[in-house]
Structure 1
Amino acid sequence: MTPQRVTLITLGVTDLERSKRFYAALGWTPAEALDNVAFYQMNGLVLGLFGKADLAADQGRPDAALGTGAMTLAQNFPTEAEVDDAFEAALAAGAGALKPPEKVFWGGYSGYYTDPDGHVWEVAMNPFWPLAPDGSLTLTGAA
């Protein structure tokens, strides 16, 4: 059996320097950077930005085969005001707005934006999922 965990999320980017500038404008600092990849230490996992052509080569497929896929990365915040602040900071850094934060059907508050390569980020406040002081999330009843 394989463990139920994710340790590294890698995003393929067309212009690594542009992407590093975008995430720097959000206040993120790479923990490690090479010529074609930058790694950001997060609580419990790492986010990597990898030059798209180099990522495709590493996967053994053509660059054209890579897309952003049907997935969303999410950041949860304790308050609606912090969601609004995060959304505005992303727009100021050059994000594309998909949906401004608003109250949503499941009882929370969320919005969506894209990074410069079209990777979708959700910023949310979920009143049913309290966050630890470090911002990490553990579902009730999870091991």
Structure 2
Amino acid sequence: MDQRISFVTLAVRDLGAARAFYVDGLGWTPDLHVPGDVLMIKVGAHVVLSLWDERAFEAEVGPIARGEGVAPFTIAHNVPTRDEVVAVLDTARSAGADPVSDPVEREWGGFTGYFGDPDGYRWEVAWNPGPLGQAVLP
């Protein structure tokens, strides 16, 4: 098996709200949109973010676990400067992200903050000066 990820699929409660956030708010361009079913956005050379209506998701994948707290993973958006971390978090805030945490210096040498999308998925916005952090930049 090749070492790669092709799609990141998130089950969303309201596909219209997800589209409003990612497309209208963040300014991303959809590559496929089937109203009421799925919205796909190419987010890298070989990676697609798939926002799938949770009813369709559950029909294919199985019941979604529900409860308090946040999903136990994050999605990261790395940028080349500290200033861009602040700018992206400001854009997310303007798009309606909630919550949005102010960026902080991390003990490992980076500068990061987080925002939540309409379904509560947490996005980390990061400036990572290390070799791996630099390797993921376009």
Of 48, 51, 54 in structure 1, the residue corresponding to residue 53 of structure 2 is 51
Aligned to 2:104, what secondary structure does the other structure show? strand
Shift of 1:98: 4.7
Deviations 1:61-112 (CA, angstroms, capped at 9, x unpaired): 23x5367630000000011110000001101111112531111110010001
Q: Which runs of 5+ in 1 are unaligned?
A: 137-143
User: Residues 99-127 of structure 1, C-alpha deviation per residue, up to 9 Å, x if partnerless?
Assistant: 31111110010001110100010000011
Aligned-pair CA distance for 1:131: 4.9
Distance 1:21 1:98 in 2: 17
1:75 counterpart residue number: 77
Aligned to 2:28: 28
The one-letter amino acid of 2:107's match is: F
Q: Give the TM-score taking structure 2 as reference length.
A: 0.87
Q: Would you say how many aligned residue pairs link Structure 1 and Structure 2?
A: 131
Say yes or no: does 1:39 pair with 2:43: no
Identity %, equivalent residues:
37
Q: Please report the TM-score for the alignment, with normalisation by the length of structure 1.
A: 0.84
The match for 1:130 is 134
Separation (CA, whole Å) in 2 of partners of 1:4 and 1:66: 30
In the alignment, is the contact (CA less than 8 A) between 2:112 and 2:125 conserved in 1? yes
1:78, 1:131 within 8 Å by CA — same for their partners in 2?
A: no
TM-align CA RMSD: 1.7
User: What secondary structure sits across from 2:76 in the alignment?
Assistant: strand
C-alpha contact 2:89 2:100 (8 A) present in aligned 1 = no
| Unmatched runs of 5 consecutive residues or more in structure 2 | none
Give the C-alpha shift of residue 130 in structure 1.
2.0
